[in-house]
């Protein structure tokens, strides 16, 4: 007769423990949601940035290809898809040996190329995709009667002088004036000496191809991803 009430008391005790466990599960689930939601948002942001970057860079490459494909062979130039660069690769056309004076043949090319180049880039600038437009000067590792270290720094000075000369000539072109308000804030001249040599298939320096001038676009994706990482560190803290 007394066993039944005892079972009822045990049942009430079990139910209260179950309610407590359920409440704790809800509490910890709530804490987990608070923590996970920012991470999910960051993941979504990263995916959106990467997608926009891939699509934007693809469209930019295609726009450059469409604009300049018929000019590349006469200019002895090429478009690099990965670097988003246009590479002028005929040193005899670009400069005289040891000189930073832009040769007349390259001046003619720049008169045609540069305004059209800015025209292609403007819509991507307006969309916030472009962080920097780099004019890069590259040399071989050679310098007559100089050690390797001396040759590097002499070529560094030469490549810097050359890119500044190209930038100065290009920005003064009348065809570049419509883009002057934003182009000057983005274009930089970068002399890189022999730091990025072009090699033959055998892994040997190709001096002729290493001497070149490149116009390269740097996109804003890296900075946007860095902002996301900063947010992630804030969540972790």
Encode pLDDT of 96-145 as tens digits: 999 999 999 999 999 999 999 999 999 999 988 899 999 999 999 999 99
Residue 141 lies in a domain: yes
| pLDDT reported for residue 2 | 43
Output phi, psi for 194, to 5 deg.
-105, 25
Residue 28 lies in a domain: no
Residue 162 lies in a domain: yes
The one-character DSSP state at 139 is: -
Output phi, psi for 168, to 5 deg.
-60, -45
The CATH number of the domain holding residue 74 is 3.30.1330.60
| pLDDT reported for residue 57 | 85
Residue 152 lies in a domain: yes
Residue 26 lies in a domain: no
Considering the entire predicted model, what is its pTM? 0.75
| pLDDT reported for residue 46 | 57
Residue 17 lies in a domain: no
- Rounded to the nearest 10 degrees, how much is the dihedral formed by the CA atoms of 176, 182, 184, 185? -170
Task: Name the token pair of 110.
Answer: 């720049």
Task: Please say whether the beta carbons of 169 and 227 come within 8 A.
Answer: no
* pLDDT level of residue 55 (50, 70, 90 thresholds): confident
| pLDDT reported for residue 34 | 46
Residue 83 lies in a domain: yes
**165-202 confidence digits (pLDDT tens):** 999 999 999 999 999 999 999 999 999 999 999 999 99
Domain tally, the chain: 1
Q: Which domain holds residue 55?
A: 48-225
Task: Please say whether the beta carbons of 189 and 178 come within 8 A.
Answer: no
Q: Answer whether residue 210 shows pLDDT above 50.
A: yes
User: What does the alpha-carbon distance between residue 10 and residue 5 come to, in Å, rounded to a whole number?
Assistant: 9
Mean pLDDT over each residue of the chain, to the nearest integer: 83
CA 70 and chain centroid, separation: 26
Helix extents (H) in the chain = 3-68, 72-75, 91-94, 104-126, 148-171, 180-186, 207-210, 221-236
Residue 21 lies in a domain: no
Residue keyed to tokens 């560094």: 156
| Ranges 15-29, 115-129, 153-167: which has the least confidence | 15-29
User: What does the alpha-carbon distance between residue 49 and residue 37 come to, in Å, rounded to a whole number?
Assistant: 18
User: What does the alpha-carbon distance between residue 80 and residue 217 come to, in Å, rounded to a whole number?
Assistant: 11
CA distances from residue 66 to 77, 119, 166 in whole angstroms, order as listed: 14, 13, 24
């Amino acid at each position: 007769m007394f066993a039944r009430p005892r079972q009822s008391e045990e049942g009430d005790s079990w139910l209260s423990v179950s309610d407590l466990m359920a409440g704790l599960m809800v509490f910890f689930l709530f804490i987990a949601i608070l923590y996970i939601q920012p991470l999910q948002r960051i993941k979504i942001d990263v995916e959106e940035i990467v997608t926009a970057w891939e699509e934007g860079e693809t469209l930019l490459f295609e726009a450059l290809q469409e604009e300049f494909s018929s000019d590349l062979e006469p200019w002895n130039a090429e478009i690099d898809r990965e670097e988003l660069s246009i590479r002028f690769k005929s040193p005899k056309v670009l400069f005289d040996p040891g000189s930073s004076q832009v040769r007349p043949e390259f001046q003619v090319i720049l008169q045609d190329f540069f305004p059209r180049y800015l025209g292609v880039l403007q819509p991507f600038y307006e969309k916030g995709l472009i962080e920097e437009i780099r004019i890069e000067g590259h040399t071989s590792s050679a310098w007559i009667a100089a050690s390797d270290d001396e040759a590097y720094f002499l070529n560094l000075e030469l490549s810097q002088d050359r890119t500044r000369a190209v930038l100065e000539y290009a920005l003064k072109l009348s065809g570049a004036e419509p883009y002057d308000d934003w182009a000057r804030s983005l274009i930089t001249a970068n002399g890189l000496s022999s730091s990025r040599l072009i090699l033959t298939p055998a892994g040997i320096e190709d001096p002729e191809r290493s001497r070149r001038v490149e116009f390269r676009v740097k996109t804003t994706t890296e900075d946007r991803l860095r902002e996301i990482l900063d947010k992630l560190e804030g969540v972790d803290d």
